Amino acid sequence: MEYTIYSYDLYHHLILPFTEWLQDAERLIIIPDGILSHLPFEALLTQRSTQHSIDWANFPYLINRFCISYHCSATLWYKQQTEQTAPKSKGFIGFAPIYSDTIPHQQHDIDLQLDDDFYEKTGIPKPPEAHRINYAEAEAARGSVEGKNYVELLHSETEVREVGSLFATQQEPAKILLHQAATLDNFKALSGNYRYVLIAAHADFNDKQPQQTGIIFSPNPTDGKGILYMGDAYNLRLQAELVVLSCCETGLGKIHKGEGTMALNRGFLYSGAKNVICTLFKVYDEHSCTLSIELFRQLAAGQPTPDALHNAKRTLIRNGRHPIKWAGYVLVGR
C-alpha cells in the first residue's frame, strides 16, 4: 500500500535523523518549509508496516509518540511566546451556514434536552414547546452564496450545536448561529467577543488567485455578501484563545520563502487569535463533526489546546478511522 511505504520513507528522512535529540521530548512544534507545509507529520509511520490486513487503529503513527503542533515561522512563534497575556474574552460562539435549500420544520427542530436557561445562554429564542428549537422562521436557507452553489453540510449543525451545549451546561456564555443567522456580518460583529470560535462551513481555496480564497458564510440580508476572503481575516479584531476552522483547506496558501504559508489561518493569528486549528486538505463533514465535538470536550475538561486536539485525533484512531479522516486538522499557534 502506497501510504505505508511513503509515510515511513518521509519519517525516515525527516524525523529519524533527529531522534537522538528527541528521546526525552513529548511535544514537537514543527515549522515546515516549502511543500512540507502541506504534510500532516502526525500521520507519518515510525516503522515499516508488516501488516497483511488493514488495521488503521494500530498503525505506528508519529502522533502516538509526540503531541504535535505547527507554526508559520520561528519569528512569529517567538513573538507569541513573548506576548503572553491572560484572555479577556469568555465563552463560545459557533457558526454553521449549513447551505440547505430549504429548512423543513419537522426535520430541523433540535431536541437538546437541556435546562430552560440554555436558550438565554445561546441567544436562541425559547419556543412554546419545551426543549425545542424552531427554525421555521428561517424558511429557506441559501444554498447559493455570491452566485455559487454549495453542498449542504448536515453534520455541521450537529457540530456547532453539540459544542455550544458543552459550554452552556458548564454555565459558560455560548452562542450558536445556524442557517441564515450565520452571516458574514454577524461573524465580523460577534467573533471578537468570545474565547472560543468555531466555523463549520465550506471554504474555497484558489491556488491561482490566493486572494480569492475564502470561507463561505450565509449571505448578508443587506448586500448579499457572504465570503470572508483571506485579506478580510487580517482585519478582524479577535481575543480568541482558539479559532477552529472546520472547513476544507484553510491551511493552504502561497508559500513565501522564510515566512511560511500565507493562508487563512495566518490572517486569524494576525488578528489576535492565539491558536488556530485549520485543515491541510479537503475534510469530511461527518468526521469533522466527530473531531470537533471531541476536541471541545477535551478543552472543557481542562486539557491544553495541543493536548485536546491530540487526544481528539487519537479517539478517531482508536475507532479505526483512516488517516484522511483525522490527519488534515492541524494546530498552528502558541
Give the mean pLDDT of the chain: 82
Instruction: Quote the cell numbers at residue 182.
Output: 450565520
Residue 278 has pLDDT above 70, yes or no: yes
Please give the pLDDT value at position 139.
Answer: 35
pLDDT tens readout for residues 247-273:
988 777 666 565 556 678 888 998 999
pLDDT at position 134: 35
Give the C-alpha separation, 272 to 269, whole Å.
5
pLDDT of residue 297: 96
C-alpha cell recorded at residue 99: 447551505
Helix (H, G, I), strand (E, B) or coil at 70: strand
Confidence bin at 86 (pLDDT 50/70/90): low
pLDDT, position 213:
86
**CA–CA distance, 263 with 266 (Å, rounded to integer):** 5
126 backbone φψ class: left, alpha, beta (φ>0; ψ -120 to 50) = beta
Residues ≥6 apart with Cβ < 8 Å to 100: 108, 140, 141, 143, 152, 179
Q: How far apart are CA 298 and CA 295, in angstroms?
A: 5
- The CATH architecture assigned to 92-333 reads 3-Layer(aba) Sandwich (3.40)
pLDDT, position 140: 34
The strand pairing partners of 28, in sequence order, are 68
Question: Is residue 35 scored above 80 in pLDDT?
Answer: yes
Sign of the CA dihedral running 125, 246, 79, 20 = positive
Determine the Cα–Cα distance for residues 67 and 15; give it in Å rounded to an integer.
14
Confidence of residue 52 (pLDDT cuts 50, 70, 90): low
Q: CA 190 to CA 156: how far, in whole Å? A: 19
Give the integer Cα–Cα distance in Å for 332 and 262: 13
> How many whole angstroms separate alpha carbon 159 and alpha carbon 74?
33
pLDDT-above-90 percentage for the chain: 53
Per-residue pLDDT at 110 exceeds 50: no
Task: Considering only residues 234 and 255, tell me which one the structure prediction assigns the higher pLDDT.
Answer: 234
Indicate the pLDDT class of residue 211, thresholds 50, 70 and 90.
confident
**Where residue 220 falls among pLDDT bands split at 50, 70, 90?**
very high
**Closest to 303 (Cα-Cα) out of 242, 238, 239:** 242
Average of pLDDT values for 146-173? 90
Q: Domain boundaries in the chain? A: 2-81, 92-333
pTM of the model: 0.84
Residue type (1 letter), 263: A
